[in-house]
A and B are shown apart, each in its own frame.
Chain A
Amino acid sequence: MAVPAIRITNLTKDFRLGLRGVKLRAVDNLSFEVADNHVFGLLGPNGSGKSTTMKVILGLLEPTLGQCEIFGLRSDSVEARRLVGYLPESPYFYRFLTGRELVDYYASICSVPRAERGQRVADVIELVGLTTAADRRVGTYSKGMLQRIGPAQAIVHDPRLIILDEPTAGVDPIGSEAISALIIELKRRGKTVLLCSHLLAQVEGVCDDLAILNKGHLVAAGSVGELLRRGGQSNLVVENFPAAAREEIEAVLARHGAKLRHIDEARVALDRLFLEKVGPTEKHSKDPV
């Protein structure tokens, strides 16, 4: 059986606040796994423990109880971090470096061999669509460009697991779509992606599995399809639906003990409409439409 990309077992994390050391339990007995080569969504309202969980995965925080492994390695080990690429929320990058210099810097920090570094940097910059701006200083980048250089530094050392924390925060739908495209591409290349995002439509569109946290507890986990299925109900999309056909269908359904609950007009999603009007022509999603 393949080693999961992330295995969290009975994770509990307490913070001590102030001199009296008042205990704040941020994560309580959390357990879940992220399968290899899956896109995993980690959801939850603010203060649910997502950031704490992510920091434990990245080895930045020590668990109070429980453990966390990355491809079977302890998450706080340097070896584990070699396998991980991370994009923080609202990232800040050194403004005086060019995009290329920035990515090259992180590549050298991650011990990418010098002989390969130049090509690797060029490849990831092309992947995120910043080739034309690569030699401009990061301080001159727009918000969208900053959001794209972020993933570039996260993947330059070819990690197996990529953790993206709110990658589309403050980004327009076109930029958001580009991030989605990148996530799909990373999965196609055999990577595992852990995505934290408040853009639920995007999560639904790209993730295979997800977990929902609330007040430090895991309240739901599983594949997107399983979690979102409404048991006992099906959707039909019909073109040219005359009233007579409706009556016949209701009668058929009644014979089979089913009932037509309601009929809605088919609507296209707002982001779909937006992209049709202003964005690229291809819609990126794990599901074909």
Chain B
Amino acid sequence: MISAFRQVIQIARLTFLEAVRQRFFNFLVLLALALIGSASFFRNFDFGPQELRFISDFGLGSIVFFGSILSIVATAQLFFGEIENRTALTMLAKPVRRWSFLAGKVLGVALLMLVFVGLLTVLLGAYLWWREQQLIAIYHQAFLDKTWPTDFPDAQRVQFGGLALNALLQWLKFDVLVAITMLVASFSNTNLYTVIVSFFIFLICQLQYIAHDNWTKISSPFLRTLAWLLSKCFPNFQLFAVGELLVFPAKVPVPHLAVVAAIGYGALYIVVFTTLAVGSFRSREI
């Protein structure tokens, strides 16, 4: 068993090394960086103390948008690359269990997403910190000059611990998406089909909360059952937005238990989808 886990680590390591060399990954990182960097133009507009909130929305939105795309496309590409190049053949002809191979691929892409989220969050955090110091100084001076009634309000200051926790939650969400994509890839024949179906599932997961909150209000029995099934069979991706509430003080305070529950939810779904992918892949003819 230990050797099987060692194989998982080895395969994950190589998957990660292969992934960071993909042009697509580098392109998306640059795009996301450009979007975050464009937030510096917001200084030309007067957002008042909420400028940091605006920058944060922009930056976090970029991470979520590009991260979602990368999760799906990278997983599909790395899986089907192995199939098409027949490196999967070489690998599975060795004393490698199929579950080790698949788990290694999932872990490798998860590492890629960790780098993606970590890098962009650090850069966003650094920019927010720098701009926050500037705004604090500007508002303090204005307060001393009596041209502004208050110092920079605490409610608009960035909670960097919350930003880090948000990064963790987004990374977990991306990993669930990676595991979902791997499940689709395990029985799909083509890269394109995998990407399209995975995006469709991603949208369903983003909207699952509507079915979850409203299925009891539907009058039609058929639609009510369908909504109930959707709310049970697909994870709720919106709940990972609890992380965004930690970056600035929330209207309704977020209990610590909610964050722990979201982390547990994400981790468990990663295991579930990866296990289903392994089960499906076992009977796949290479």
- Whether A and B touch (Cβ < 8 Å) is answered with yes
- Looking at the assembled complex, report how far the CB atom of A105 sits from the nearest CB atom of chain B, in whole angstroms: 6
| Residues from 39 to 71 in A contacting B, C-beta threshold 8 Å | 55, 58-62
Residue of B nearest to A108 (CB): B10
| Residues from 44 to 95 in B contacting A, C-beta threshold 8 Å | 85-87, 89-95
**Given contacts A60-B285, A109-B7, A111-B3, is CB(A92)–CB(B87) below 8 Å?**
yes
Judged by a CB distance under 8 angstroms, whether B14 is at the interface is: yes
Judged by a CB distance under 8 angstroms, whether B254 is at the interface is: no
A81 to B4, CA, bound (A): 14
Q: Does the CB pair A153–B95 fall under 8 Å? A: no
Judged by a CB distance under 8 angstroms, whether A91 is at the interface is: yes
Q: Does the CB pair B93–A86 fall under 8 Å? A: yes
A153 to B85, CA, bound (A): 16
**Given contacts A94-B14, A105-B10, is CB(A81)–CB(B94) below 8 Å?**
yes
Q: Does the CB pair B14–A88 fall under 8 Å? A: no
Judged by a CB distance under 8 angstroms, whether B21 is at the interface is: yes
Q: Does the CB pair B6–A111 fall under 8 Å? A: yes
- Looking at the assembled complex, report how far the CB atom of B82 sits from the nearest CB atom of chain A, in whole angstroms: 9
- Pick from A82, A91, A106, A109: contact of B86, CB under 8 Å: A91
Judged by a CB distance under 8 angstroms, whether B36 is at the interface is: no
Please tell me the size bucket of the interface on B.
20 to 34
Judged by a CB distance under 8 angstroms, whether B140 is at the interface is: no
Judged by a CB distance under 8 angstroms, whether A199 is at the interface is: no
Residue of A nearest to B82 (CB): A92
A60 to B6, CA, bound (A): 22
Measured between beta carbons, the chain B residues less than 8 angstroms from A15 are: 285
- Looking at the assembled complex, report how far the CB atom of B209 sits from the nearest CB atom of chain A, in whole angstroms: 35
Judged by a CB distance under 8 angstroms, whether B268 is at the interface is: no
**Given contacts A61-B285, A108-B10, is CB(A88)–CB(B89) below 8 Å?**
yes
Judged by a CB distance under 8 angstroms, whether B252 is at the interface is: no
Judged by a CB distance under 8 angstroms, whether A84 is at the interface is: yes
Measured between beta carbons, the chain B residues less than 8 angstroms from A105 are: 10, 14
A276 to B109, CA, bound (A): 52
Q: Does the CB pair A86–B90 fall under 8 Å? A: yes
- Looking at the assembled complex, report how far the CB atom of A102 sits from the nearest CB atom of chain B, in whole angstroms: 10
Judged by a CB distance under 8 angstroms, whether A96 is at the interface is: yes
| Residues from 149 to 163 in A contacting B, C-beta threshold 8 Å | 153, 157, 163
Q: Does the CB pair B89–A60 fall under 8 Å? A: yes
**Given contacts A60-B285, A86-B90, is CB(A78)–CB(B18) below 8 Å?**
no
Q: Does the CB pair A81–B285 fall under 8 Å? A: no
- Looking at the assembled complex, report how far the CB atom of B234 sits from the nearest CB atom of chain A, in whole angstroms: 26
Measured between beta carbons, the chain A residues less than 8 angstroms from B90 are: 86, 88, 91, 106, 153
- Pick from B7, B17, B97: contact of A96, CB under 8 Å: B17
Measured between beta carbons, the chain B residues less than 8 angstroms from A88 are: 86, 89-90, 93
- Looking at the assembled complex, report how far the CB atom of A76 sits from the nearest CB atom of chain B, in whole angstroms: 10
**Given contacts A88-B86, A91-B90, A92-B85, is CB(A111)–CB(B21) below 8 Å?**
no
Measured between beta carbons, the chain B residues less than 8 angstroms from A90 are: 86
Q: Does the CB pair A92–B86 fall under 8 Å? A: yes
Q: Does the CB pair B87–A109 fall under 8 Å? A: no
CB 8 Å contact bits of A67-104 with B (1 = contact, 0 = none): 00000000000110110101010111110100000000
Residue of B nearest to A106 (CB): B94
Q: Does the CB pair A96–B87 fall under 8 Å? A: no
Most chain A CB within 10 A, of B17, B18, B90, B96, is at: B90
* CB-based closest 10 A-B pairs: A92-B85, A86-B93, A82-B95, A81-B95, A58-B93, A60-B286, A111-B3, A78-B95, A88-B89, A88-B86
Q: List 12 A-B contacts (CB under 8 A).
A: A60-B286, A62-B283, A62-B285, A82-B95, A91-B90, A94-B18, A105-B14, A108-B10, A110-B95, A111-B6, A153-B90, A163-B93
**Chain A interfacial positions (CB closer than 8 Å to B):** 15, 55, 58-62, 78-79, 81-82, 84, 86, 88, 90-94, 96, 105-106, 108-111, 153, 157, 163
- Other A-B pairs, 17, CB within 8 Å; known A81-B93, A81-B95, A110-B95: A60-B89, A61-B286, A78-B96, A78-B97, A79-B95, A81-B96, A86-B90, A86-B94, A88-B86, A91-B90, A92-B87, A94-B17, A108-B6, A108-B10, A109-B11, A111-B7, A163-B93
